[in-house]
């Protein structure tokens, strides 16, 4: 059985949702990969789609409230890592 992958860029003109992703995804270009396998035993070439994947960009958020430093401090207290953060 042979598997092939097809990559394409799909552009959404409006924000959209995908089942399984809790947030609304912004309009824009996304890479979509479709995997297909051959259907054997036919007199012509045919493929069956077995997976479709979309690449969704990660969200990076800047945290200014000291929460990250507080969590690092608490982690160091438990593990005695000896790190120092902030003033």
Interval 6-54: pLDDT, tens? 999 999 999 999 888 888 999 999 999 999 999 999 999 999 999 999 9
Host domain of residue 71: 3-79
Q: Is residue 21 assigned to a domain? A: yes
Distance CA 82, CA 77 (A): 8
Tell me what pLDDT residue 1 has. Answer: 78
Q: How far apart are CA 60 and CA 40, in angstroms?
A: 45
CB neighbour list of residue 17: distance below 8 Å, 6 or more residues apart: 24, 25
Task: Tell whether 38 is covered by a domain.
Answer: yes
29 within some domain? yes
Q: Is residue 20 part of a domain?
A: yes
Please give the tally of structural domains in the chain.
Answer: 1
> Does some domain include residue 36?
yes
Query: Do 25 and 17 touch, CB atoms closer than 8 A?
Result: yes
Please check whether residue 61 lies inside any domain of the structure. Answer: yes
- Inside any domain, residue 85: no
């Amino acid at each position: 059985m042979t598997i092939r992958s097809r990559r394409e860029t799909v552009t959404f003109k409006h924000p959209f949702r995908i089942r399984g992703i809790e947030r609304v995804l912004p309009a824009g270009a996304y890479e979509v990969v479709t995997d297909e396998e051959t259907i054997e035993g036919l007199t012509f070439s045919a493929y069956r789609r077995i997976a479709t994947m979309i690449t969704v960009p990660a969200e990076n958020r800047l945290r200014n409230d000291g929460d990250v430093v507080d969590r690092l401090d608490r982690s160091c207290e438990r593990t005695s890592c000896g790190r120092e953060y902030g003033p």
